[in-house]
Chains A and B, each alone.
Chain A
Amino acid sequence: MSENSIEKLPTYLEIPAIKKDSMAGNGPFKASVEVQNELGFPGEKVENWQQVAIDKMAETKSKYRSVQVFLDACVKCGACTDKCHYYLGTADPKNMPVARQDLFRSVYRRHFTFAGKYFPKLVGAKELDEAMLDDWYNYFHQCSQCRRCAVFCPYGIDTAEISMAAREVMNVIGVGQKYPNQILGKINKIGNNLGMPEPALRDTLEDLEEEIKEETGVAVKLPLDIKDSEVLMVTPSADFFAEPHIDGLIGYAKVFHQSGVSWTLSSYASEAANFGMFIGNYDVMRQGALRIRKAALDLNVKRVIVGECGHAWRVAYSFWNTLTGLGSGGNDEYSKKLQQQLDSNYPQPQHIIEFTYDLIQQDKLLFDKSKNDHRVVTFHDSCNVARGSNMGDIKNGQFILPREVIKAACNNFSDMPKGTIKASTFCCGGGGGLLTDDLIELRIKGAKPRMHALKQSEERNGVNTLAAICAICKSQFSKVLPNYEFDPYMIVSVHQLVSDAIILSDNSENSNNKAL
């Protein structure tokens, strides 16, 4: 399975000729009976699975306009065929967005359209049989739901919507993927993807405080469960233990320390990530979001801020208001209560980048940029932030703000080539529930277009640091960078750059975490 040979990079990224079945296989590990049942899905493939699946397709397309319209509108123009990093990296034609969708669309046509019912061969309509289901499982788990294809589609057809719908159908018939479903079980029970209980989290944060104190001499706090704090900080749990994520967490803490704004983490909602999106299940996604609403209300905070995590920010920015009423404009009971409690001077929720950026704009943070002079930094736009969210409520703010924060902390910044950044950014290769070792070959190959752009930046501008604001990107890059002859430690959090350059003042009044 594992392929650790180093990929040789051509000087320009070639669009490969199709290589049929080059990624054929059984797909990632399947979820066990217990894991499936935990989420309310059948533990094993149900007996009349075909009928259940068709019924679920009917339901999904009646509840999601995206699915219904996207299944009808595609004209097979081919605009998307060379846009997916998994196609570019593997050459398997079923990794072309349209071909991936067609696995689902051909069944839709067979069962739901006139042409497909009476002239299946003519329009490429197919039955949902064992072989098709195997293809679904294999290839809908080779999509990181990064939405790059949708940027180039003349009708905005978003393969992520289809892949979410397909995963939802598969879960409903009892064919689930182990990695995301197992994690979702943990978040529902314990509050984070790691299954890290409150005492362990508390210990970790205390250790970090000591570490910062030792290194800087300043008592920077990482408060947990402090009621009446100004800010509830919700961050991906990887920030609590993984490298390089943890240095980003230290960065947030330092920014809060300097800002004088009191803040707290929550042990109940100690996870910003929400894998419910990956499996396309509204209820599971909502469950995760409701934990955060509950924490915000229980801790009586004024603001909710989200840490560096790509899909978490998409869920928070685009979906939280829908799922929980956390935002403006709602008029149900919870929305009204939240609007009463939360500070309407700020958008709710906010991204930590927005928070830091605002402070920089107000000259409230001082930097010694020379601390980052050994670095030439480039920024990897994480797909969910880039294509599914905004920052600062200005057009393209999600591209502008992170770069401005980096430039405030670093002297040397250089973007990767046009067409590989911003709205057209290439996925890291590990998003959408694919960040698991059983998919390592796919992850390495899928990283190729991003690695290629990075190689160009290294050659032309001497880039030696890759900054990102997504926990999945950071983990994925740490793992795959060596496969492309890069230093695995070149991937950093944006707030690590902030952390390294920020000038801390030892003014204890500054950190007015009064409850401490």
Chain B
Amino acid sequence: MSLTSIFFTFFFYISVLIFITGVSYKIVQYWQTPAPLKIPIAPAPLNRSGVLMRIAREVFLFQSLFKASKWTWIFGWSFHFALVLLFFRHLVYFWPGEIPTILLKTEPLKYAAYPLIFGLLGLLGRRFFVDRVRYISAPSDYLMLLLLIVIGGSGMLMTFAQNHPNMLLVKNFAEGLITFNWSELPSELLFLAHIFLVFLLIAIFPISKLLHAPGIFFSPTLNQVDNARKKRHISQWAKNKESHKKIDLEQNSDEDK
């Protein structure tokens, strides 16, 4: 195998390792951190199924963002939706063994690259032209968008501008990563740039604002049921405060022990 192939093979595994450990660490951290008080935000659901619906509307439709800003919603939603479609478009390369028919029919999904780039350029434009958004943007906020734009752009150049790398090599390389049956990857620069940045994106996921993806499921304002009067909600650390008291119900007093 060429040095490039070895490098990319290593880079892939390292990225995935960082991704899995990093994201698992954050999820465990969120899971274990108590939410000591009921703080659902209006319009708050009064039962569990209402909460599930609410999270679903936020995850799939970006409901709150829609209320907040139509432009940001259009850009943000088309980018994310296109990203999901393109993820499915790429599954075919990695699928080991016999490919399910459904994956063979994903070719038209490639056009999702257009709304993807449209959304990303819109989001970047906002960072440049809306003074409020410019004020809150750090270099990493621009770079993250640029990274995604270059990933999308390089993919489009390969797909729509007749710069296809050798697809058989691509398939073997990608499948080899999954089956630990490593093989040579194509050496076209566009392709190398494309996967380099994708692996980079995977690696920085757990140390960047991409944590909004797991974060949304743990947001207490969104995932709590508004039933504080009906059910006592108490965290362990708050409970410990109570157990350190000497309670005398007759005298209605609870003194520190």
Q: Does A156 make an interface contact (CB < 8 A)?
A: yes
A322-B36, A332-B242, A393-B46 are known contacts. Are A122 and B219 too (CB-CB below 8 A)? no
Q: How far is the CB of A60 from chain B (nearest CB, A)?
A: 10
A445-468: CB near B (< 8 Å → 1, else 0) gives 000000000000000000000000
Query: How many residues does chain B have at the interface if contact means C-beta atoms less than 8 Å apart?
Result: 69
A66-B39, A72-B215, A124-B140 are known contacts. Are A154 and B58 too (CB-CB below 8 A)? yes
Q: Are A147 and B126 interface neighbours, CB within 8 A?
A: no
Q: Are A158 and B221 interface neighbours, CB within 8 A?
A: yes
A161-B39, A319-B37 are known contacts. Are A79 and B229 too (CB-CB below 8 A)? no
Q: Are B132 and A327 interface neighbours, CB within 8 A?
A: no
Q: Does A255 make an interface contact (CB < 8 A)?
A: no
Q: Which residues of B contact A393 (CB under 8 A)?
A: 46, 229-230
Q: Which residues of A contact B76 (CB under 8 A)?
A: 77, 154
Q: Are A73 and B136 interface neighbours, CB within 8 A?
A: no
A74-88: CB near B (< 8 Å → 1, else 0) gives 111111111100000
Q: Are A322 and B234 interface neighbours, CB within 8 A?
A: yes
Q: Are A65 and B62 interface neighbours, CB within 8 A?
A: no
Q: Are B230 and A328 interface neighbours, CB within 8 A?
A: yes
Contact of A395 among B43, B131, B141, B207 (CB under 8 A): B43
Q: Are A78 and B222 interface neighbours, CB within 8 A?
A: no
B53-92: CB near A (< 8 Å → 1, else 0) gives 0000010001011011100100010000000000000000
The docked-state distance in angstroms from the alpha carbon of A173 to that of B45 is 38
Q: Does B11 make an interface contact (CB < 8 A)?
A: no
Chain A contact residues (Cβ within 8 angstroms of B): what range? 35 or more
Q: Are A66 and B231 interface neighbours, CB within 8 A?
A: no
The docked-state distance in angstroms from the alpha carbon of A335 to that of B249 is 11
Q: Are A82 and B132 interface neighbours, CB within 8 A?
A: yes
Q: Does A64 make an interface contact (CB < 8 A)?
A: yes
Q: Which residues of A contact B230 (CB under 8 A)?
A: 327-329, 347, 393
Chain B contact residues, CB within 8 Å of chain A = 26, 29-30, 33-39, 41-46, 50, 58, 62, 64-65, 67-69, 72, 76, 123, 126, 130-133, 135-141, 143, 207-209, 211-212, 215-216, 218-222, 226, 228-235, 237-238, 241-242, 247, 249, 252, 254
Chain A contact residues, CB within 8 Å of chain B = 15, 17-18, 61-66, 68-70, 72-83, 93, 96, 98-99, 102, 113-115, 119, 121-124, 147, 150-158, 161, 282-283, 286, 290, 294, 297-298, 317-319, 321-322, 325, 327-335, 337, 347-349, 386-388, 390, 393-396, 398, 422-424
Would you list the 5 A-B pairs with minimal beta carbon distance, nearest first? A73-B215, A124-B138, A156-B221, A152-B68, A330-B232
